[in-house]
Structure 1
Amino acid sequence: MDAVADWVPEGIDLERPSAARLYDYLLGGAHNFAHDRELAERFIKAQPNAREIARHNRSFLRRSVLFMIERGVRQFLDLGSGIPTVGNVHEIAQQADPTTRVVYVDYEEVAYAHSTLMLADNPLATIVQADLTRPRDILDAETTRELLDFTEPIGLLMAGVFHFVPPAKDPRRIVAEYRDALVPGSYLSFSQFTRDLMPAEMDRVVEVMKSSRDPMYPRSHAEITELFDGFEVVEPGIVPTALWQPDPDLDDGGEPNRAGIYAGVGRKI
């Protein structure tokens, strides 16, 4: 077992891998444990393009945040934000405008603990430890309300997290509850795994993730489109991550059919 570092919360179960720490490993981060790395290697065996998929998803998040910044959004609610690594939302947004405010949300203990440490000296960014499938716990949290002004447009980010929401939790209701809390002119940035792209690999990934605390539920293009109800989907629509307004100067392109993930941005109408 790994030596317990000072950023590890007391009582955390190091024996059970988590998706947040797996994603951290795929992105080259160091906030993961032996069981997370073991799961990640099984993930990579099931989906050999896993590291590229993670990188493209991270690039989509960056591009979508800058897209919203360019349209006047200056506050973000990042659901399932994960473990901080290079290119976090507040770094991207506050570089463009230092007054931008960001509330991160994650239920995973390491993600919350490390984010709290990293954001300690940033009064315009914070994190709420909560389950994104319980929207009121997040929307009504004192921390959220102190930093975000719900009378102004907000960028709602659900990048690479909704494939952990089971159908039994009523995904459309969850997204709708967040949507209804936003004023027109707000945006939704959304990406998640799909079986439409690389179906055999996706089936293997689903099996691998059954042994983690975060089983996966891929969705079709039609199912993802339904989640954008009440939002006007912006160009180029809901597409493989590499095709969503790529920045060729930053190597954001890639083979679309190997993306594994659909991505899209919608404006609340």
Structure 2
Amino acid sequence: MTDERLTPADVDLVTPNTARIYDYLLGGKDHYAADREVAEQLLAVIPEARTAARENQAFIGRAVRFLAREGVRQFIDIGSKLPARGNVHEVAAEVAPDATVVFADGDPVVLAHARALLARTRRAAFVRCDPRRPELVAEDPEVRALIDFERPVAVVLDRVLHFIEDAAEAAATLRRLHGVLAPGSHLVFTHITQEPEPESGGDVGHVFKPTSGHFWGRSRAEILGIVGSFELVEPGLAYTPQWRPDASAPRIADPERTFTLAGVGRR
């Protein structure tokens, strides 16, 4: 777990944080007692929460590798969380060592994590942003110093869209993002859904009520409406374990129990 003596001064150690809860579920070390308490409460309601987090992370890795093999060499990871391993720049470099990656987030712990992670990496950088306004990243001079928006860019919105309360605003946000990206660009996204167990929504909402972020699980149709400005590549919108699974990966018996739909959209 995180050494609180080394924690940035502006980090709230009392309020549970969704990025740090996710880190705990992934088996990382960047979390505090308040985060672990909420995570354990979530596991009591959704026992598959750890599997869901791992499958979510595995999907991001597969999507990034897929796009790198397709020739994409620029990635912007918005709302990048705190993965202990398999970060976007690491995965992209497996296929394309010349790939450039920008991490963008507003959480001070995430930013501190990124600083340490990227200290010796020349082709990656981090910037502060509001993940709910991903299109504004294109206006950041630090981002533009590394990313050429006249060329294809892959934007990763991992567990970001469900933090935008209004579905119409989420769709408008993606239309604006679509407008600043060059043809051939892509969107990689995940979104929580409660379709497999609608009755659990109230319990999950209660668990996350004390956290610093509130999310809205949506139906498949609602998510398709939000990402409609992008053309989804095969297999379309799928539960994370079902999106182009690796042949060697263990089979997930109930993929819908990840409660996470995901996809890759083309500009």
Q: TM-score range by the shorter chain?
A: over 0.9
In structure 2, relative to structure 1, the CA distance for the partners of 1:48 and 1:182 (3 Å cut) is same
In the other structure, the counterpart of 2:34 is 35
Query: Conserved in 2, the CA contact under 8 Å of 1:189 and 1:265?
Result: yes
Q: Which residue of 1 aligns with 2:149?
A: 150
Aligned twin of 1:4: 4
Moved more, 251-260 or 202-211: 251-260
Aligned equivalent of 1:124: 123
> Match of 1:5, SS?
helix
C-alpha distance 239-218 of structure 1, shift in aligned 2 (>3 A): same
Instruction: Measure how far apart 1:106 and its partner are.
Output: 1.2
- Aligned partner of 1:112 in structure 2 is 111
SS of structure 2 residue aligned to 1:248: coil
Gaps of 5+ in 1: none
CA contact (8 A) 2:24 2:39 kept: yes
Residue identity opposite 2:246 in structure 1: D
TM-score normalized by the length of structure 1: 0.94
The Cα shift of 1:160 comes to: 2.0
Amino acid at match of 1:194: T
Determine the structure 2 residue equivalent to 1:74. Answer: 73
Partner of 2:257: 258
Query: Which residue of the partner structure matches residue 187 of structure 1?
Result: 186
* Matched positions, count: 266
1:60 is paired with a residue whose SS is helix
* Cα distance in 2 for residues equivalent to 1:70 and 1:176: 26
- Preserved contact between residue 237 and residue 265 of structure 1 (Cα < 8 Å): yes
Q: CA deviation at 1:254?
A: 4.2
1:22 — aligned with what? 21
Task: Give ranges in structure 2 of 5+ residues lacking alignment.
Answer: none
Equivalent residue number for residue 247 of structure 2: 248
Contact preservation (8 Å) 2:77, 2:104:
yes
Taking a change above 3 Å as real, the CA distance of residues 230 and 93 of structure 1, as seen in their structure-2 partners, is same
Amino acid at match of 2:13: L
Question: Deviation of residue 133 (structure 1)?
Answer: 2.0
Task: Specify the code of the residue in structure 1 equivalent to 2:37.
Answer: E
Matched-pair contact (CA < 8 Å) for 1:18–1:212: yes
Deviation for aligned residue 1:134: 2.8
CA distance in 1, matches of 2:252, 2:128: 34
- 2:239 is equivalent to residue 237 of structure 1: no
* Closer/same/farther in 2, CA of residues 149 and 198 from structure 1, 3 Å limit: same
Whether the 8 Å CA contact 1:62–1:89 is kept in 2: the answer is yes
Q: Which residue of 2 aligns with 1:56?
A: 55
Give secondary structure in 2 for the equivalent of 1:132. coil
For residue 96 of structure 1, what is the aligned residue in structure 2?
95
For the residue of structure 2 that corresponds to 1:152, the secondary structure is: coil
- Aligned CA-pair RMSD: 1.6
1:197–1:261 CA contact under 8 A, matched in 2: no
TM-score (norm 2): 0.94
Distance 1:204 1:96, change over 3 A: same
Per the alignment, do residues 60 and 38 of structure 1 end up closer, same or farther by CA in structure 2, a change over 3 Å counting?
same
> 1:65 offset after TM fit, Å?
0.5
Amino acid at match of 2:243: W
Cα contact 1:197–1:259 (8 A) shared by 2: no
User: Distance in 1 between the 2:224 and 2:168 partners?
Assistant: 18
Cα distance in 1 for partners of 2:94, 2:248 equals: 19
Q: 8 Å contact 2:189–2:263 — kept in the other structure?
A: yes
Change (3 A) 1:196 1:226: same
Match in the other structure for 1:197: 196
1:176-201 Cα distance to aligned partner (Å, 9 max, x none): 11111111111111111112122233
The C-alpha deviation readout for 1:3-56, integer Å capped at 9, x for no partner, is 5232x1113210001000000000000110001101111111121110000011
CA-CA distance at 1:208 after TM superposition: 1.2
